[in-house]
Amino acid sequence: MTERATDLDPGLAEAGAVLAAEAARFASLGWMRGTSGNLSMVTSRDPLRLAVTASGMDKGELTESDVVLVDAAGNAVSGGRPSAEAALHARVARLTGADAVVHVHTIASVAVAERCPEGVVLRGLEMLKGIGRPTHAEEVILPVIANSQDMTVLGDRLEAAHDPRVPAVVVAGHGLYVWGADPRQARHHTEVVEWMLELELARR
């Protein structure tokens, strides 16, 4: 019988509580419908370990126990069954140095990706400051990558498209991956990127 993650590590329970609260917020916005989406936060860098929300659970009803500790390959170290996308979370953490990753399924991200398969041009928006750009006048491209059920393939696509100025990527037909220095910053980045995607959708 698999032990609950929080029975093994009180620190993981603390991470689980943070992720449960963040998931409830995203679920309330309709960005994690059903059991979709997943969140993670880094608990150790050497070796790399991430707390990831457990697979197949309603993200609006998570508790501190509904979290899995995974390694740099996305394999469970303790707890239950992680999302298949845990490996991509770990890849993002390694690639970007981020300590928190958000994956949500928003209508705007999927719709805009269909219209902008080469990437979403963002310019002239004050909200660009919300993802760390110094001025509204700057222009960046939010990458759009093709989906894959193979997390190695998807991770390779994300790495090839990654722009260090943009803490996010859209996976076509799937949703949005966003990251930050901690869960709060990752949440803010997610809200800002989604706002810009909704604006782009409204314009079209």
| Per-residue pLDDT tens over the stretch 152-172 | 999 999 999 999 999 999 999
pLDDT at res. 4: 46
How many Å apart are CA 136 and CA 149, to the nearest integer? Answer: 36
Tens-digit pLDDT profile for residues 116-151: 999 999 999 999 999 999 999 999 999 999 999 999
How many Å apart are CA 54 and CA 195, to the nearest integer? Answer: 27
C-beta of residue 180 within 8 angstroms of C-beta of residue 119: no
Q: Which residue has the tokens 């869960």?
A: 183
How many Å apart are CA 57 and CA 20, to the nearest integer? Answer: 11
Listed as ranges, residues in the chain with pLDDT below 70 are 1-9, 79
Domains annotated on the chain, with CATH: 5-203 (3.40.225.10)
Question: Mean of the per-residue pLDDT values for the chain?
Answer: 93
How many Å apart are CA 64 and CA 78, to the nearest integer? Answer: 14
